[in-house]
């Protein structure tokens, strides 16, 4: 579960390394975001090797899609899915991806959402 103030790793090649959640976007008075939800984030730190050619800057505000969470997500078929870190992928104002690559694996459920491109850009899929 991601709420305001939660720190997330950015797992694309946009240049950002760590971001903090500002707000969960969808829903009235919604407190938590899970895998696949859109949140508003602020960039806290950049990747050290990519600072000069980074597409993002420290302190800027972006939208992001939550890709991994530490809390267990239970599906109807009985699968339990959890990861070791909270992570997200950055979006611009038109909900297009800023980066062109995604590092690490993502849940297979992204195949059936409007973010199909996350599944195709990632290194692997987890059930």
Q: Mean of the pLDDT values across residues 2-14?
A: 96
> Domain for residue 2, yes or no?
no
Q: Would the pLDDT of 2 be above 90? A: yes
Q: Would the pLDDT of 50 be above 70? A: no
Instruction: Indicate the number of domains in the chain.
Output: 1
Q: CA 16, 120, 56 angle in degrees (round to 5)?
A: 15
Distance CA 52, CA 70 (A): 32
Strand partners of residue 16: 46
> Domain for residue 90, yes or no?
yes
Distance CA 46, CA 37 (A): 23
pLDDT digits (tens, 9 = 90+) for 57-92: 999 999 999 999 999 988 888 889 999 999 999 999
Q: Mean of the pLDDT values across residues 40-62?
A: 90
Give the domain extent around 78.
7-126
For the record, the structure tokens of 58 come out as 């420290």
The pLDDT of residue 77: 85
Q: CA 85, 59, 26 angle in degrees (round to 5)?
A: 60
**CATH number of the domain within which 15 lies:** 2.40.150.20
Task: Please count the other Cβ atoms lying within 10 Å of the Cβ belonging to residue 17.
Answer: 18
């Amino acid at each position: 579960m991601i709420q305001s103030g939660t720190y997330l790793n950015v797992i694309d090649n946009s240049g950002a390394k760590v971001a903090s959640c500002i707000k969960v976007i969808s829903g009235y008075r919604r407190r938590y975001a899970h895998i696949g939800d859109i949140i508003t984030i602020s960039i806290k730190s950049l990747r050290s090797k990519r600072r000069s050619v980074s597409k993002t800057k420290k302190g800027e505000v972006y939208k992001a899609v939550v890709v991994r969470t530490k809390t267990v997500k239970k599906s109807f078929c009985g699968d339990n899915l959890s990861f070791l870190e909270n992570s997200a992928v950055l979006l611009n104002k038109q909900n297009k991806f800023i980066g062109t690559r995604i590092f690490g694996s993502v849940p297979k459920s992204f195949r059936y959402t409007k973010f199909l491109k996350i599944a195709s850009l990632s290194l692997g899929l987890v059930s």
